[in-house]
Structure 1
């Protein structure tokens, strides 16, 4: 296969993705088309699933998921999996000051 074949495959997949069941901007469609050409999955949906798994794993490993969960829900992913907060696991409940500017910083 040649560069011309690659260009043709990416462009063809890009056109097909315009009719996908999910909305993609032009850049995302082109990137997905390139991944389809390179990885040759049975369906492009497989790559979307892989991308979701990769993004999720990246957020878990970097602590970004816990940071966002703590900010929005006052919980972490581990607490979600355990079904209880760290304080409940330790047998107590620590209350943070609500009016202190520094009171709700993310705790590692």
Structure 2
């Protein structure tokens, strides 16, 4: 897979999500959400949004996102953000491969 395929998959997932998301909660998640709601007071939707942000930040900071992106798409998060692979940034794929067998032949 490639950077272009990742971009398409992210755009597709974004459009599939829409504005609202219904999530089934297991007992443990319901209990934890209730505790956070009681302690922090407030909207459960806002708590879930903050939880997604926290998970996303943690996944980026620990390198887990890069690990999964490298496995699935052969790119990193930085490459996705810049819209270019490292080879494209450095010009490594700009030149044709050398033919070492014929390199020193006259």
User: What's 2:31 paired with?
Assistant: 30
Deviation at 1:22, TM superposition (A): 1.7
Partners of 1:80 and 1:24 lie apart in 2 by 32
> Alignment RMSD, CA only?
1.3
Gaps of 5+ in 1: 1-19, 94-108
User: What's 1:66 paired with?
Assistant: 66
TM-score if structure 1 supplies the norm length?
0.64
TM-score if structure 2 supplies the norm length?
0.66
Bigger RCO (CA 8 Å, 6+ sep): 2
1:10-58 CA distances to partner (integer Å, 9 max, x unpaired)?
xxxxxxxxxx9321111001001100001112x1000100000000000
- 1:7-86 equivalent positions in 2, closer than 5 A: 21-41=22-42, 43-86=43-86
1:67-101 CA distances to partner (integer Å, 9 max, x unpaired)?
000000101111111001011001123xxxxxxxx
User: What's 1:6 paired with?
Assistant: none
User: What's 1:7 paired with?
Assistant: none
Say how many residue pairs are matched.
73
